[in-house]
Amino acid sequence: MRTLRIFLVSFILIVASLSSLDASAQCSMCTLNAENSVQNGNTEGKGLNKGILYLLAAPYLAIAGVGFLWYKKYRRKNVSMNIKDSKINLN
């Protein structure tokens, strides 16, 4: 069951990464200024959209890393509990 779950999660991640669409993370004013600057010969506007996407993804990656470390550190360990088989009187 565990190998099936690992395979399913990895398959979903691979499909999601291969089927990504181009994202436009700029407002209309920034897009217009960047396109005009590129048309006028300025090369600084080319990486603007990728920079915005990079800044957008950084907090999510940091939170995912902290969550993964927290899960690995505090997940339930296999602990054997010795419980008596006798009846318990609740009164």
The domain in which residue 50 lies consists of: 25-75
Interval 54-88: pLDDT, tens:
888 889 999 999 999 988 888 766 666 676 677 76
Residue 70 located in a structural domain: yes
Pull the structure tokens for residue 67. 């969550």
Residue 4 located in a structural domain: no
pLDDT confidence band for 91 (50 / 70 / 90)? low
Interval 10-63: pLDDT, tens:
998 888 877 766 666 567 777 777 778 777 777 776 677 777 778 888 899 999
Residue 91 located in a structural domain: no
**According to the model, what pLDDT value does residue 23 have?**
60
Q: Count structural domains, the chain.
A: 1
Residue 7 located in a structural domain: no
Residue 81 located in a structural domain: no
d(CA 85, CA 91): 18
Residue 51 located in a structural domain: yes
Residues making up the chain, counted from first to last: 91
d(CA 31, CA 49): 8
pTM over 0.85: no
Residue 44 located in a structural domain: yes
